[in-house]
């Protein structure tokens, strides 16, 4: 556990400027029920020159009316679309320098839990918006910070 904590706390405080490094990529992971909140939180980070990737709704969530689409398409098609969206977001995690778990109200769904595991396997630093309730998963989070405070940790 000590080795894991040391690994997660590698960020050097030397040579930090007052602005984040331009070109850094942050990927948000969170439930689509927080999609609008994630986009809103990403805006000020983008204005500072960071690239922020927010998960994009798949065909199922098009227009945030999943019930409408679920009644129009068969389960096989819906499952295919959902899988494509999930794999696409895993590729976003691979491109990122930092992973930010947008777990409003500490909500952590099964897909985000998979994304945390994937991030760990890639040795990505993981931050969270709210405390993680699971006593195992909480060990993998570098810091719990609001989106506004995240920027200060990156400078």
Query: Which structural domains are found in the chain, ordered by start?
Result: 2-8+20-153 (3.40.50.450)
Structure tokens at 127: 């931050």
Q: What is the pTM (predicted TM-score) of this model?
A: 0.79
Instruction: Determine the length of the chain.
Output: 155
Cβ atoms of 51 and 20 within 8 Å: the answer is no
Tokens of 83: 């899988």
Render each residue's pLDDT in the chain as its tens digit; 155 residues. 344 334 434 433 433 444 456 568 999 999 988 989 999 999 999 999 999 999 987 654 555 566 677 778 888 988 888 888 899 999 999 999 999 999 999 999 999 999 999 999 999 999 999 999 999 999 999 999 999 898 888 76
Q: Which of 84, 90, 83, 154 lies closest to 122, judged by CA? A: 90
Yes or no: say if 55 and 28 are a contact pair by the CB < 8 Å rule: yes
């Amino acid at each position: 556990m000590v080795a894991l904590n040391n690994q997660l706390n590698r960020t050097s405080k030397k040579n930090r400027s007052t602005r984040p490094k331009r070109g850094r990529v942050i990927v948000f992971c969170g439930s689509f029920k927080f999609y609008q909140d994630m986009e809103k939180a990403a805006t000020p980070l983008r204005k500072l020159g960071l690239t922020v990737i927010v998960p994009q709704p798949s065909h199922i969530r098009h227009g945030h009316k999943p019930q409408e689409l679920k009644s129009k398409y068969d389960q096989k098609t819906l499952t295919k679309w959902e899988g494509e969206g999930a794999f696409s977001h895993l590729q976003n995690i691979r491109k990122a320098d930092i992973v930010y778990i947008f777990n409003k109200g500490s909500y952590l769904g099964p897909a985000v839990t998979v994304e945390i595991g994937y991030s760990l396997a890639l040795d990505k630093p993981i931050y969270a918006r709210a405390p993680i309730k699971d006593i195992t998963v909480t060990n993998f989070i570098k810091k719990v910070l609001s989106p506004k405070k995240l920027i200060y940790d990156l400078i």
